[in-house]
Structure 1
Amino acid sequence: MHEPVHSHPCCGTEHPGGMSCLCGRPETMRAMQRIEADISRRRMLGGMAALVGMFAGFRVAAGPDERPGLPDRPLLLVNLRLFDGQSLHLREGVAVLIQGERIVDLITPDAAPEGVLRVDCGGRVVMPGLIDAHWHTTLAGVDMRTALTADPAYIHLQAAREARATLMRGFTTVRDVGGPAFALKRAIDEGVTPGPRIFPSGAMISQTSGHGDFRMRHEVPRTALSGPTQTELSGVSVIADGADEVLRRAREQLMLGASQIKLMAGGGVASLYDPLDSVQYTERELRAGVEAARDWGTYATVHVYVPEGIKRAIRAGVGCIEHGQLADEEAVRMMAGEGVWWSLQPFLQDEDSNVYRDPEQVAKQTRVARGTEQAYAWAREHEVQTAWGTDILFAPDKTHTQGRQLAKMTRFYEPLEVLRMATGDNGRCLALSGPRAPYGSGLGVVQPGGLADLLVVDGEPERDLSFLAEPENSLWLIMKGGRMYRNTL
């Protein structure tokens, strides 16, 4: 005899013998989530394929490789004043010899070998390409709503456009401290589109309710059946609770190609839910991320503002503190004593600041701005290794201020000290990535063996840096890896 067959009301499937429906069982739901995730990945891959197809029609330079070609013979930059990214003075009577992507030597002009191509700099200053140590490659050029809701292909197209603008502002390298920058980095490195060198962190790793938790209220609580959020799927951030989960997520970013790990150790200004003074991640959780990075020969950096969060991160072994404008003097001494880098930004709540309309966000921004001047004063007094960056975030109308934000640092330092911070000092900070550094050594300096990332500028940097606010007029030559992206000499 055959068992009677019944149609179940929830799915319309016929089940023998009146067997209960399996649709609502946990294992069925997990299977469906895996299928949905696979479909999402396939859609994303389709979108990226379309993105590559769009780029196929672009021409920025000659040939299928969109980069300018390397000169067929050595270059010699002559008739210049040199800022080398290390010394606090300008050198004269020196010429820069370049072969391929690197600087071969610094020589006197009359000692040049035969066959070189001389480039007359007209008495202008030659200096290293600028480095922004706190940049968000895919998040700076779009607003928050677009970043969280738009098609991935659109966001990456906007990021590619912004990357080209970044390079043309004279920033030849950025350290990306959060966001899906891996694809753009590859496209730039392969000559698909112009842009700066990128040191990618990948997704920001955050605790539940932390600075990288972008969920809406209706998405809480998160359960085993919830699946990853949209920001996790897109690679902006990832939520991890407990040391084991932090370890897993850090290793995933390293697998994808992170040159350093970014952990969220405290509250922030841009986020709506986490208080600015909150301390995030236990020391054990932070240490798990640090250990994952160290095992790969690199380091972890943390987003944090308040003293207890800074101290906890230092005890956990992080290599760099991002922000930290609300540090107390004890925390600053700890940074100096442990050799931890302090990546500060000129958050002054002025015309260059990110714009917030929520009163709570504005209040947090005001508090950070008040702490900025004290932070720079303590950094100088205690001789903390200090990096410079902008942290322009979800503000496409602010990205053009990148050079101006460096120029206004002269309220805290002498002009050549500021330039050294944004070149040689930032290069040393990025070198913390060790074997995970994507481009080898020689960033931010003009010296034999260094990368030929150079600017020829029309200005007097020993006096002021206002010329950086108008890169379209003041940068006569922009070179990255020996290739000239602008040459009006």
Structure 2
Amino acid sequence: MRLSQLLTLFFCTVSVQAIYGQQKQVLIENVKLIDYNSQMLTSSKHVLINGNTIQTISDLPIKAMGNDLIKIDGKGKTLIPGLIDAHVHLVFGALTMPQMMKNDLSEEFLINTVGQSAQQMLMRGFTSVRDVGGPIFPLKAAIDKGKLMGPRIWPSGATISQTAGHGDFRTPEEKSRRFFGIVSRAERYGATFIADGRDEVLTAVRENLRFGASQIKLMAGGGTSSAYDPVDVTQYTLDEMKAAVEAAEDWGTYVTVHAYIPRAIRRAIEAGVKCIEHGQLLDEETLQLIAQKNIWLSLQNLVEDTPDMDPQRRIKRKPVIEGQEKVWPMAKKIGVKLAWGTDFLFEPDLNKLQNAFILRLQKWFTNAEIIKMVTQDNGELLQLSGLRSPYPGKLGTIEEGALADLLLVDGDPLKNLKLLADPDKSFLLIIKDGQIYKNNLQKR
């Protein structure tokens, strides 16, 4: 049975709700917002949420009444949009590689790992994520239906990779299905599509779109977490890449590609992709091209090493780690549209550091720039999915008409960004889709 089918069966037995049920109105009084123009906090504001949207923001007290109204005194704290991680793998990030290779993916095991990991992510203040590869559709459906707690998910579905590409997860004994007729284990579980040639790429893209992909993830270059492809290789021909872009654009959405090196990224740009994942080995000339074409660069600031990292992966990552120190400041100077994400894979212990990784951007950005990147800018990238976006509405900003994904921070994150790295203590209020999931302030 496919992993996606197992997840569907298991999650249908779980039911969770926001802590106040399905309230219709929330009035948050006496809070300060961030003014990005002045890079300062505003004067005291009052914010009324109606349903899942921000209805009113006022300098004056808001008169609102009703049995379904919840009033919260913000006590002068800072209200910011929910955090957004633009590059996650919820399933791969919740499991170790040995766990992924287990044959007995039991109900208890999956609920206690993948489901729990999603809940913890929401309680860290991440109200939205873009999942860029993996069997995510059943988990997303369970969250959206209220069977599990978790962030909004923009799903890519199975990664799309050429044979011997970054998404070719076959073990040494697994042969090519084209020659031997046996589908690999990773493909059966919905983790990846191994697709060669224009026709197969078209089919793989359309399969993901059929299941609800909001964007398509294509492997355009080598990687560090895969066994067979060197980091420096270019993957997929121009025609194959164009096939993916055409199929995605026919559905009103876009292709994002995994790639590090200029050659692979230039080919992807020529094919018409709208976003690059990684790019730590980019040169200045290619960054200039990315900026000229108005393409997003979804970057990470990866951890240098971990105790459980495979030695081969450690070696392959070395140039990437060195490159990220150069690319971030160069991309900022050039004016590339930047998004931020974590990209944790097969090391679940890293998940608890998700917020702390935001602080790694302080080498190159002001606190205001960082908060804007992990909320407003990442939210703008999510909306690149157009009509394929699973959650219509504006995210990453606090304005009338925007979706009500909000955090109340106990302090001023413009002065002390470390507040974002301590969600248990600093986040007094967590709201997603107008529903309260955490409230450490007394309601009235």
Map 1:59-78; keep pairs closer than 5 Å.
60-61=16-17, 68-72=20-24, 74-78=25-29
| C-alpha separation in 2, matches of 1:471 and 1:148 | 33
Structure 1 position 137 matched with structure 2 position 90: yes
| C-alpha separation in 2, matches of 1:321 and 1:349 | 21
Query: Is the partner of 2:342 in helix, strand or coil?
Result: coil
Query: Is the partner of 1:131 in helix, strand or coil?
Result: strand
The alpha-carbon deviation at position 75 of structure 1 amounts to 2.2
Map 1:85-164; keep pairs closer than 5 Å.
88-115=39-66, 117-154=70-107, 156-157=110-111, 158-164=113-119
Give the TM-score of the pair, scaled to structure 2: 0.93
Greater mean alpha carbon deviation, residues 85-94 or residues 164-173: 85-94
Change (3 A) 1:196 1:293: same
Summarize deviations over 1:123-174 as a string: whole Å, max 9, x none: 1110000000000111111101212334445564221110000000000000
Change (3 A) 1:235 1:88: farther
In the other structure, the counterpart of 1:228 is: 183
In the other structure, the counterpart of 1:190 is: 145
Query: Is the partner of 2:54 in helix, strand or coil?
Result: strand
In the other structure, the counterpart of 1:438 is: 390
| 1:354/1:393 contact within 8 Å kept | no
Give the number of the structure with larger relative contact order, counting CA–CA contacts within 8 Å between residues 6 or more apart: 2
- Which runs of structure 1 show a deviation greater than 6 angstroms over 4 or more consecutive aligned residues? 84-87
The alpha-carbon deviation at position 50 of structure 1 amounts to 5.0
One-letter code of the match for 1:484? Answer: I
- Name the larger-Rg structure: 1
In the other structure, the counterpart of 1:474 is: 426
Number of aligned residue pairs: 437
Summarize deviations over 1:158-198 as a string: whole Å, max 9, x none: 21110000000000000000001100111111100110000
The alpha-carbon deviation at position 53 of structure 1 amounts to 6.0
| C-alpha separation in 1, matches of 2:315 and 2:122 | 34
Change (3 A) 1:220 1:282: same
Map 1:304-319; keep pairs closer than 5 Å.
304-319=259-274
Alignment partner for residue 83 of structure 1, among 34, 37, 46? 34
| 1:325/1:372 contact within 8 Å kept | yes
One-letter code of the match for 1:340? Answer: I
In the other structure, the counterpart of 1:426 is: 378
Summarize deviations over 1:247-288 as a string: whole Å, max 9, x none: 110011000110000000001111111001011111111111
The alpha-carbon deviation at position 86 of structure 1 amounts to 8.2
| 2:4/2:138 contact within 8 Å kept | no
Map 1:7-406; keep pairs closer than 5 Å.
40=1, 45=5, 47-48=6-7, 51-52=10-11, 54-55=13-14, 60-61=16-17, 68-72=20-24, 74-83=25-34, 88-115=39-66, 117-154=70-107, 156-157=110-111, 158-349=113-304, 355-358=308-311, 360-406=312-358
The alpha-carbon deviation at position 324 of structure 1 amounts to 0.3
Query: Is the partner of 2:40 in helix, strand or coil?
Result: coil
| C-alpha separation in 1, matches of 2:262 and 2:397 | 33
| 1:305/1:323 contact within 8 Å kept | yes
Q: Which runs of 5+ in 1 are unaligned?
A: 1-39
The alpha-carbon deviation at position 329 of structure 1 amounts to 0.9
Give the TM-score of the pair, scaled to structure 1: 0.85
The alpha-carbon deviation at position 110 of structure 1 amounts to 2.6
| C-alpha separation in 2, matches of 1:133 and 1:386 | 10
Summarize deviations over 1:340-389 as a string: whole Å, max 9, x none: 00000012415xx695232x321221211111121111111111100000
Q: Which runs of 5+ in 2 are unaligned?
A: none
